Structure 1
Amino acid sequence: MKTISLKIDDVIFSETENILESLDKPRNRYINEAIEFYNKVNKKSLLAKKLKAESKLVAENSMDILSEFEDFDYEN
């Protein structure tokens, strides 16, 4: 477990405190869950970008291979 110090905008802090009263949840737990959720969202986004870039590379290779097959003489 790590201890950190945060500076939170007043509006966000007030809104969070109001929500926490309704949820009856400790602030620390709420913030940890929020960061965990945000990490998951960003991991998915980064993975999607990586897959898109790699798909472009594979697509270029696939087109080259397809072209070679089209040039191939199947009768010989």
Structure 2
Amino acid sequence: MKTVSLKIDDDISMETEKILSELKLPRNRYINEAIDHYNHIQKRLLIEKALTKESFLVRENSMKVLKEFEDLEDGD
């Protein structure tokens, strides 16, 4: 396990302490779970960004293929 030192804004710290007292959860566990959750969100956003980029790159080619299929259907 890695030790990390961080500075937390006072208002965030106070809110966190209130929540921790109600949950009866150690601060360390709470922060680890919060970071894990945030990492999952960021991974999804990175995947979404990559998919959007890839989709944009193949869009022109996909439209050409679609046009070719439409032309084939019109020829029948």
Q: Do they superpose with TM above 0.5?
A: yes
TM-score, reference length from structure 2: 0.83
Higher helix share: 2
**Helix, strand or coil: the match of 2:8?**
coil
- Structure 2 equivalent of residue 5 of structure 1: 5
Cα displacement string for residues 25-55 of structure 1 (whole angstroms, at most 9, x for unaligned residues)? 0000000000000010111011101101101
Stretches of structure 1 that go unaligned for 5 or more consecutive residues are none
> Root-mean-square deviation (CA), in Å?
1.9
Which ranges of 4 or more aligned residues in structure 1 deviate by more than 3 Å? 64-71
Map 1:1-76 → 2, pairs under 5 A = 1-67=1-67, 70=71
Stretches of structure 2 that go unaligned for 5 or more consecutive residues are none
Equivalent-residue separation in structure 1 for 2:59 and 2:37 (angstroms): 33
